C-alpha cells in the first residue's frame, strides 16, 4: 500500500466514523412518536377484552392503534385529569390509529368509553397506561 492509498483509506474510515457519530448524537433530539397497540374484542356474552392490560411508555408523543377483533364498534379513550379524550374508534373487525397525543408522566386509565349493551369499561374493556 502506498502512502496516498493509506491516506485515502483513513479519510474514508474517519469520514464514516464521523457520520455514524453525528447520526448517534442526532437521534435523542429527534421527536419520536411512540406507538401503542390495543386489541379489543368480545369473549362470550358479557365479557369484553382489552389487551394489554398495562402498557408503559416514556413521556412525550404517543399514538394509539386500536385493533378491533370484536363484532361491535369500540374505542380507546384516556382519562386526562378530569377530561375524557377519545383517541381512536374502530368499527367491528377494523383498526384505527389516533393522532399523536402528548403525555406527561403519570398513570392513566385507558378504556372503551362506549356504553351500548352496557358499560364497556366496567365489563372489562379497560387497562392502565403508565407514562414514565
Ligand atoms: Cu367497547
Per-residue model confidence (pLDDT) at position 17: 47
State in Å: Cα 67 to ligand 1 middle: 11
Instruction: Read off the pLDDT of residues 35-76 as tens digits, 9 standing for 90 and up.
Output: 999 999 998 777 899 999 999 999 999 999 999 999 999 999
Residues with CB under 5 A from ligand 1 (ion): 74, 112, 114, 120, 125
DSSP-derived pairing of the beta strands 60-68 and 34-43? parallel
The distance of Cα 55 from the centroid of its chain, to the nearest Å, equals: 9
State in Å: Cα 46 to ligand 1 middle: 12
When the pLDDT of each residue in the chain is averaged and rounded to a whole number, the result is: 85
State in Å: Cα 60 to ligand 1 middle: 26
Per-residue model confidence (pLDDT) at position 11: 47
State in Å: Cα 80 to ligand 1 middle: 19
* Sequence ranges of the domains in the chain: 1-30, 34-131
Architecture of the CATH domain 34-131: Sandwich (2.60)
Residue 38 · residue 110 · CB < 8 Å? yes
Given the C-alpha cell 457519530, which residue does it identify?
A: 21
Which phi and psi (to 5°) does residue 45 adopt?
Answer: -75, -45
Gap between the Cα atoms of 21 and 26, Å rounded: 9
Instruction: Read off the pLDDT of residues 87-127 as tens digits, 9 standing for 90 and up.
Output: 999 999 999 999 999 999 999 999 999 998 889 999 999 99
Amino acid at each position: 500500500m502506498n502512502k496516498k492509498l493509506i491516506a485515502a483509506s483513513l479519510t474514508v474510515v474517519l469520514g464514516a466514523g464521523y457520520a455514524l457519530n453525528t447520526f448517534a448524537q442526532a437521534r435523542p433530539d429527534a421527536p419520536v412518536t411512540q406507538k401503542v397497540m390495543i386489541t379489543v374484542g368480545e369473549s362470550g356474552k358479557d365479557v369484553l377484552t382489552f389487551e394489554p392490560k398495562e402498557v408503559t411508555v416514556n413521556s412525550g408523543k404517543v399514538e394509539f392503534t386500536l385493533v378491533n377483533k370484536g363484532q361491535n364498534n369500540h374505542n380507546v379513550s384516556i382519562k386526562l385529569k378530569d377530561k375524557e379524550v377519545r383517541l381512536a374508534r374502530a368499527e367491528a373487525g377494523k383498526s384505527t390509529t389516533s393522532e399523536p397525543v402528548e403525555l406527561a408522566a403519570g398513570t392513566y386509565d385507558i378504556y372503551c368509553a362506549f356504553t351500548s349493551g352496557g358499560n364497556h369499561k366496567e365489563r372489562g374493556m379497560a387497562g392502565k397506561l403508565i407514562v414514565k
